[in-house]
Structure 1
Amino acid sequence: MTGRFTEALLGARRPVIMELKRQDAEGRSLFGDRSVARIVTEYQDAGAPCLSVVTGRWFGGTRELLREVMARTHLPVLLKDFIIRRSQLEEAHRAGVSAVLLTASVLPRSTLDTLVDHSLRLGLTPFVEVASEAEIGRVPRAGECLIAVNNKDIATREHGAGDTGRSVSLLPAVVGTGTRCAVSAGGIHRPDDAARLLREGFSGLLIGTGLLRADSLPEWLDVFDRCRETAPSVRRPGGPHDHGHLEGTI
């Protein structure tokens, strides 16, 4: 049902979409000797509200990975791939996912409009990925979409560390669309950086490599929790969230 993914994220104690991605942009394994079943169990035990599964070939993804995850979880799942046709949405719907990635930078406006409309008709939440104010301005039916700022660059196949400053600078424009859920995605490795992005005003985060490379997922999340609880916050005057937006530093 449309909204299940968004509602799960907004209602979570830790609003982190935990991602399964076989390899990073440089082709290095992120799973190591861990099975899909083990990673799904670790994420569920950690209280993940939603999962993301990367099926794109840049990151070693396959449809079999999606099928295996779907068979092992009850959580809402985001399918991450380059979707450019309605038939791909219908395939995603048959697979049972709750949300689909739509990348604004690779979709003409008319195609993005069509894919958002078709996603919603199928009961899928459009997870629209943006990287500029121009792309944010092209998101149709934003109030029904989840809008995610990609901190990495598609043009370079997402090589490099990423820039979470992009998320911070674009947040006012994202919120201005009327979306219920603004997400910062990619390039989030440290738990203190993750906590800072939530304090800036993001509703959720999508983290893959940072969690998959953590020496201990429970310890990473414990630090994340402590940073959220203890970091000082101050009200940002005159900003887009002046009715309650808080900002702090670590």
Structure 2
Amino acid sequence: MILDKIVAVKRQEAEILRNYYIENNYRAELRQALPVRNFYQNLKEHSRTYKLAIIAEVKKASPSKGIIREDFNPTEIANEYAESDVAAISVLTDTEFFKGDFKYLQQIRKHVQLPLLCKDFIISPYQVIHARLHGADAILLIAKILEKEDLMGLYQFATDLGMDCLIEIHDGLDLEKALSIEAKIIGINNRNLDTFETDIKNTEKWLKHIPEQIITISESGIHNAADSKQVNEYGANGILVGESLMRSKSISEKVKELRLEE
């Protein structure tokens, strides 16, 4: 399974980061890190201002689709997102499978004021430190690849650093983990991480079991206004979108379409 391969690579990367940060005074670095912007609050405000808050993704490639955007300039894309008034920007930092990079976080942080989500397969606190030091304000935690205790530990560790967490679920077991740690933001992934197939109805299936006070984000498989309308009717507060924005000739127009602006 591709997910098993990804997690195996992440274990190796996490060990390298562990060795690096143990040898270096990461606590001193963290004290000098840039202030955290409020990812959660931005999502909340945008979900009230618009029908859907948008987390717009800077995404060059994926294992299932290959290269998505050839003319890939992370900073230019992020600036277009900011000009389109999205709620936050998701930055893929996995190199081997998604052609992302932590330097993209650094570059984007210098040019936009929006909160940044580090989108990666995080299994270690040293990855959280790395994300924080590269400008991330929030991290993605995928319930499927973490035991409940590990999910709780990483959630608390990130929270202690002032960061927000988007807890990603796909099924009932994932949801149980997310609710047990009292997650403030839950993303329902419409993509099965084993088969990489998408079904937007997965949002409907699990959203009804999530308390109203939790910010809910529908992820994957959202390509047009009809998809947005569907998840909006299910009750989602927002959407996380990458591929359809990356393939669009006009990011600003696509944002308006997906946000269901009249």
- Do the two structures share a fold, i.e. TM-score over 0.5? yes
* 1:209 maps to 2:243: yes
**Corresponding position of 1:32:** 70
Question: Does the CA-based 8 Å contact 1:27-1:59 persist in structure 2?
Answer: no
Label 1:27 to 1:199 Cα distance change in 2 as closer, same or farther (>3 A): closer
**Corresponding position of 2:199:** 163
- Residue by residue over 1:170-204, the C-alpha shift from the partner in whole angstroms, topping out at 9 and shown as x without a partner, is 1012x23x652011011111122113212321111
Question: Does the CA-based 8 Å contact 1:2-1:120 persist in structure 2?
Answer: no
Whole-Å separation in 1 of the counterparts to 2:193 and 2:213: 23
* 1:185 maps to 2:219: yes
Whole-Å separation in 2 of the counterparts to 1:43 and 1:228: 16
Question: Does the CA-based 8 Å contact 2:172-2:206 persist in structure 1?
Answer: yes
Whole-Å separation in 2 of the counterparts to 1:22 and 1:221: 18
Aligned residues: 222
* 1:151 maps to 2:185: no
Unmatched 5+ stretches in structure 1? 230-250
* 1:218 maps to 2:252: yes
Instruction: Tell me the CA shift for residue 101 of structure 1.
Output: 0.7
**Corresponding position of 1:200:** 234
For residue 228 of structure 2, give the secondary structure of its aligned residue in structure 1.
Answer: helix
**Corresponding position of 1:65:** 104
Whole-Å separation in 2 of the counterparts to 1:97 and 1:133: 29
* Amino acid of the structure 2 residue aligned with 1:90: I
**Corresponding position of 1:82:** 121
**Corresponding position of 2:16:** none
Whole-Å separation in 2 of the counterparts to 1:26 and 1:127: 23
Question: Does the CA-based 8 Å contact 1:10-1:204 persist in structure 2?
Answer: no
* Amino acid of the structure 1 residue aligned with 2:120: D
**Corresponding position of 1:103:** 142
* Amino acid of the structure 2 residue aligned with 1:172: K
- Residue by residue over 1:37-96, the C-alpha shift from the partner in whole angstroms, topping out at 9 and shown as x without a partner, is 221121111111100001123211111222222222111000011111111112222223
**Corresponding position of 2:15:** none
Whole-Å separation in 1 of the counterparts to 2:217 and 2:199: 14
* Amino acid of the structure 2 residue aligned with 1:45: E
* Amino acid of the structure 1 residue aligned with 2:124: R
- Residue by residue over 1:148-167, the C-alpha shift from the partner in whole angstroms, topping out at 9 and shown as x without a partner, is 011112223x3x4x111101
Whole-Å separation in 2 of the counterparts to 1:182 and 1:50: 14
For residue 61 of structure 2, give the secondary structure of its aligned residue in structure 1.
Answer: coil
* Amino acid of the structure 2 residue aligned with 1:118: F
Whole-Å separation in 1 of the counterparts to 2:250 and 2:36: 34
| Percent of residue pairs bearing the same amino acid type | 25
CA RMSD for the aligned pairs?
A: 2.0
Whole-Å separation in 1 of the counterparts to 2:42 and 2:131: 19
Q: TM-score, with normalisation over the residues of structure 1?
A: 0.81
Whole-Å separation in 1 of the counterparts to 2:37 and 2:109: 18
Q: TM-score, with normalisation over the residues of structure 2?
A: 0.78
Structure 1 stretch 115-124 or stretch 178-187: which is displaced more? 178-187
For residue 59 of structure 1, give the secondary structure of its aligned residue in structure 2.
Answer: coil
Whole-Å separation in 1 of the counterparts to 2:74 and 2:158: 27
Unmatched 5+ stretches in structure 2? 1-34
* Amino acid of the structure 1 residue aligned with 2:205: S
